[in-house]
Chain A
Amino acid sequence: MNNMERLKRQENIRNFSIIAHIDHGKSSLADRLLENTRSVEGRDMKAQLLDSMDIERERGITIKLNAVRLKYTAEDGEEYTFHLIDTPGHVDFSYEVSRSLAACEGAVLVVDAAQGIEAQTLANVYLALDNDLELIPVVNKIDLPAADPDRVGAEIEDVIGLPKEDSIHASAKANIGIEEILERIVKDVPAPAGDPEAPLKALIFDSVFDPYRGVISSIRIMDGAVKAGDKIRMMATGKEFEVSEVGINTPKQLAVDELTVGDVGYISASIKRVGDSLVGDTITGADNPAEAPLQGYKKMNPMVFCGMYPIDSAKYNDLREALEKLELNDSSLQYEPETSQALGFGFRTGFLGLLHMEIVQERIEREFGIDLIATAPSVIYSVDLTDGTTISVDNPAQMPDPQKTERIQEPYVKAQIMVPNDYVGAVMELCQKKRGNFMTMDYLDDVRVNIIYEIPLSEIVFDFFDQLKSNTKGYASLDYDLIGYKESKLVKMDILLNSEKVDALSFIVHKDFAYDRGKAIVEKLKKIIPRQQFEVPIQAAIGQKIVSRTNIKSMGKNVLSKCYGGDITRKKKLLEKQKEGKKKMKAVGSVEIPQEAFLAVLKMDDD
C-alpha cells in the first residue's frame, strides 16, 4: 500500500466501543452489528460472540477483550471499515477499559430503557470523555413493557449532557434501530488521525498468551505502520522483538500484510509472557523509534491479596505451575511463595479485585483440577513501626505486634452508588456500618440518586457488594476508585482452634468493631467447622487477650448401621458421598477445616 492509499483508507475507518451496564444489552447489540454488516457468516454465529471464555459466558461478563473488524456500506455508497473494540464489564478491570477506550474515537453508549444509567456505565462514560470519545447514546430494549425511553433519554441528557433528541431508540433483540446506529457511527465518529509516515506508535489494549504463537496483543495503530519482520520495541519495558505476524479479527484471526494508522488488529512477535507486552504500553519501531510513548500507561498493581493453598499438599508444585501458566496470560496476577503454619506451603497471590480473585481461583480448580483453600482476601496495609520504618502488610497474619506499631494506614476508595431513592436509607446504613464517610448525594432525576462515600477498601472487599445488592433488592449499582491511604485504628484478630493459633484465619479489624466481630466469628466458625473426634475450643484473641470463646462439641457416632439386605453398592455410595464432602477440607493440626471457614470472616453479617 502506498501512502496515498493509506490515507484514503484512514478516512473510512471508524473505531468504537460499546459502553453498557451488565444486562443492558451490550453483547446482543454487538451480535446485531456483526449480523448487519459483513463480518461473520450466519453459521459461525454463536450467541454473544465476543465473550469467549467459559467463565465469561457463565457469568455474563467480559473479562478478556476482543476487537472485530466489520465492513459496512453506508447510505452514502462508501464502504467503511469498523473496528468494534470490546471492553470488560467489571470494575476490577477498569484500567483495561480505559485502554480499550483510548484505542477508539467513539463509543456507543447503551442504556436499558427500563433501568436507566447505572454507576458502572457512568464511570465508563467519564473514561470515554477523558479520552475525547464521541458518544452515541442508544436507549435499548424499547420493546419491553417496562420501557420508558423518554425518561431514560432525559436522564442521559441530565446526567451526561447528551441532548435527548440524539438518543437512538433501539432494541437489539428485536433488531430495531440497528441501521440508524450504523449510520450514526459513520457520521458522528471521527476518522482516526495520525501520520502513516511517522515512526510507529501502537497502543496495546489487550494481551493474551497462545501456547503455540506466544503472546498475541491487540493493538491500535496511532502513527506509522507495522508488518511481519519489523523490529519493534516496547517503550515501557524497552524490550525488543521481531514481528512474526500482524492481522485482524474477522472475528477469526486473519493475517494481513501490514497494519497502518487507524487499524485495529493483533500482533505476535514470539513474546513469551504477557508481562512483556503490557496493556497500555506503546509499541514502536526498534530502528526508528518514536520520541515519546502514548500517554496513559500505568503498571497495574494488585489491590487484593489472599493466600492460596492446595488442599492436598502434594499438589504444591501443580499449583505453582498453574499460577505460572495463568500469569503468562494475566499481567496483573502476582504471586509469591508463602508458608502458613496452619496450611503449609502455598502462595500469597495478588489480584486487581475480588472478581479477578474468584476467576483465578475458579480457573485453577476447574482447568487445572487442584482443590484449593483460599484465605480471606486482604488489602495492603501501610504500617509505620516504632523504629521509624514503614512496611507494607498484605497478609493479616504478618501484622506486627501492637507494641511495635506506631500507626496503621489502610487504602480508601471513593464509592459511587446509584440507587432508586427508596433505598437511600438502606445504602447509607450499610455504608455507615462499613465505616464509610458520607461525601455527597445528587438526584439524577426524580427517582434516582447518586451517592458518594469514602469507604475503606477492606470493607468493600468484605462482602460489600453482595450486601448492597440484597439491601436494595438488586437495584443499586456500584463503582469505586482508589483514592489513597488513611490512618485507621486497626487491630489484628487471631483465631485459635484447640488453643493453637491458625494463622490463616487471622484478620484485621477496626478496634471499635473488634469485640462484636470476634464474637460473631467464633459463633460462625462453630457452625461451619464439623464436629471432630474431640471437643475443640474456638477463641478469638487480640494479642494475648481472649475476646470471645466457644466450643465445638466432639463428634458423636458416625456409623452406617444396617447392612441393607446385602446392598453393598448403596453403602459404598454413601461412603463416597461422605468422602466427597471431606475433600473440600484441610486438616489443620488435628482439626478438619472446610474452605468456608476461611471465608467466614467475610460473611459475618449474614446472621
Chain B
Amino acid sequence: MDSMYVHIPFCNRICTYCDFNKVLIKNQPVDEYIDALIKELGQYDKQHLKTIYVGGGTPTALTVSQLDRLLKFMTEHFTVTDEFTFEANPDELTTEKLDVLNHYGVNRVSLGVQTFNNDLLKVLGRTHNFDDIFKSVNHLEKIGLTNYSLDLMYNLPGETFDDIDMSLKYVKELQPKHISWYSLIIEPHTVFYNKIRQGTMSIAGSLEEGEKYDKVIAGLDALGYPQYEISNFAKSEYESMHNKTYWLNEPYIGAGAGSHGYTGSARYYNIKPVTHYINNMNEQGSVVKEQLELTKNDQYEEEMFLGLRLNKGVSEVRFNEKYGLPVDAVYGDVLKKLTEKNLLKRKAGHIYLTEAGRMIGNDVFMEFLL
C-alpha cells in the first residue's frame, strides 16, 4: 500500500454546497473521535507510505493539541516518504497550527480558497474572506511550505466570467504550485440543492459551464499550469501524487468516519456518523461498514473511467500488466467507436480524451461500463 486518506469530519461552519461527511464541530466528541481514529490507524501495519492526505470536513478545525495528538501517532506509525497533504481553510491556518503541521512533516497544503470574490464566498457559506487567503499564503511562505495548492470552484450561483478572470489574476500573483478547480455540483441534502429546487437560486446551464471550463483550462495553461486531470492543474513536477493514486486505480487506505479505501481487489467504506464510528471502534474494534469485492469487469471499468480523467490517459502496457490481457480484448469495439467519433485518441501506448471528449467526459466514461 502506498497511500492513505484520513478523514476529519468536523467544520466550524457548514458550506452551502457541501455534501461530504461532515458535522458542525460545536459540542461534538472530537477528542473521542481522535482516539477512535488513532485506534483505527493503529490496526494497520506500521509501514512506509508514499502519500498521506488528510481531508475533511476541515482538518484545521481541530485544536492545536488535537492536531498534535493525531499527527504524533500518524507519524510514529507511518513513515511518509513523498507527499503529506493537509487540507486547510484560509482563516483557520493560524501560525500555531501551521507550526504543528510543519513539525510533523506535512509538506503540502491544499487551501480551500474556492473564489476570490467576497460576495460569492458568502453565498458559499465560507468562513474566510479575500484577506484571509493572502494572510494564510503569507504564513505558508514564511514557514517555507511553498508546495501548496489552491482549491477553487467555478459555475457558482451569480458568478460571471469576470470572477474567473479575477481568480486567474490572483493565481498569477500568488504562484501556487498546484490548482484544483472544480465545477460546482449541486448535490442533494445541501442548502444549494434545496434553494434550486425552490427556485430561489439558479446556476448557469451546461453551455455556459462549458465555456467557463474552457476559460479555466486556457487561462491556467497560459499561466504555466497545464491541465493534467479533468479538474487539476499544476506546475511541472507538482502534480498531486496522492490524487493520482485514485486515478491510476492504485490501492489506498481510507481511515476516519465515512472514508473509502481500496485494497486492489475490493472497495470498502467506513461508518459515516461520528458517534457510531466512535462506538463501533470502541465496542467492536471495527469501523468498516461494507466491503465490496470487485469482479474483473468492475476492475476494467474503473481502470478506464478513472484513468481517462488524466490527460495522459490510460497506459496500454500498464493495463496489460495489471490484468494480463490487452485493453482491446475488453474494449476493442468501444475504443474503435470513440476514436472514430474523435472523443478518444490513442497514441504512444496511451488512450486519452480529446478536448471534445473531455467536455463530455461522462458520456465517454459511460461507454466503458460492461
Contact = CB atoms under 8 A, between A and B. Distances in A.
A568 B302 contact: yes
B197 to A, nearest CB: 19
Interface stretch (B75-83, B119-127, B166-174, B360-368): B360-368
Interface in A249-291: none
Interface in A526-548: 531, 533
B43 interface: no
Given A566-B254, A567-B269, A568-B267, A555 B206 contact: yes
Contacts of A576: 369
Contacts of A562: 182, 185, 231
B262 A568 contact: yes
A556 B209 contact: yes
Contacts of A558: 206, 359-363
B68 to A, nearest CB: 24
Nearest to B368: A575
A572 B305 contact: yes
Interface in B293-323: 298, 301-302, 305-306, 309
Contacts of A574: 362
B356 interface: yes
Contacts of A561: 182-183, 185, 230-231
A564 B22 CA distance: 13
Interface string B215-252: 00000000000000011000000000001001100001
B359 A566 contact: no
Interface string B1-17: 00001010000000000
Contact of A555 (B258, B292, B360): B360
Contacts of A557: 183, 206, 209-210, 213, 359-360
Place the interface of chain B in its size category.
35 or more
Interface string B174-208: 00000000110100000000000000000001111
Interface in A559-581: 559-569, 571-572, 574-576, 578-579
Contacts of B366: 575, 578-579, 582
Nearest to B205: A556
Interface string A44-57: 00000000000000
Contacts of A563: 243, 246-247, 309
Contact of A568 (B55, B210, B231, B306): B306
B369 A554 contact: no
Interface residues of A, number: 27
A567 B262 CA distance: 9
Interface string B257-277: 011111000010100000000
B20 interface: yes
B108 interface: no
B305 A565 contact: no
A556 B210 contact: yes
A553 interface: yes
Contacts of A556: 205-211, 359
Contacts of A565: 5, 7, 20, 55, 254, 258-260
B260 to A, nearest CB: 4
A565 B258 CA distance: 9
A594 to B, nearest CB: 15
A571 B267 CA distance: 13
B129 to A, nearest CB: 24
28 contacts: A531-B206, A555-B206, A556-B208, A556-B209, A556-B359, A557-B210, A559-B183, A560-B185, A560-B361, A560-B362, A561-B185, A561-B231, A562-B182, A562-B185, A562-B231, A563-B247, A565-B7, A567-B260, A568-B262, A568-B302, A568-B306, A569-B267, A572-B369, A575-B362, A578-B363, A578-B366, A579-B366, A579-B369
Interface of B: 5, 7, 20, 55, 182-183, 185, 205-211, 213, 230-231, 243, 246-247, 252, 254, 258-262, 267, 269, 292, 298, 301-302, 305-306, 309, 356, 358-363, 365-366, 369
Given A556-B205, A568-B302, 20 more contacts: A531-B206, A553-B207, A554-B207, A557-B209, A558-B206, A558-B363, A559-B358, A559-B359, A559-B361, A561-B183, A561-B230, A564-B260, A565-B260, A566-B252, A566-B262, A568-B246, A572-B369, A574-B362, A575-B365, A575-B369
